[in-house]
Amino acid sequence: MEDEKQLQAVMGLIMNGGNAKGSAFAAIKAAKKGDFEEAQAKLKESDQFLSEAHNAQTGMLTQEAQGDHQTVTLLMVHAQDHIMNAITFRDLAGEMVDLYKKLAE
Q: Which residues of 35-68 are buried (b: 16+ CB within 10 A; e: fewer)?
A: ebeebbebbebbeebbebbeebbeebeebeeeee
Ligand-binding site membership of 68 (annotated): no
Q: For residues 48 and 19, give the distance between their C-alpha atoms in angstroms, rounded to a whole number.
A: 10
Considering all CA atoms of the chain, what is the largest pairwise distance in Å, rounded to the nearest integer? 56
Classify 34 in phi/psi space as left (phi over 0), alpha (psi -120 to 50) or beta.
left
List the catalytic residue out of 54, 69, 78, 82: 78
Q: Is 82 a catalytic residue?
A: no
Residues making up the binding site for Mg(2+): 81
**Residues forming the active site:** 78
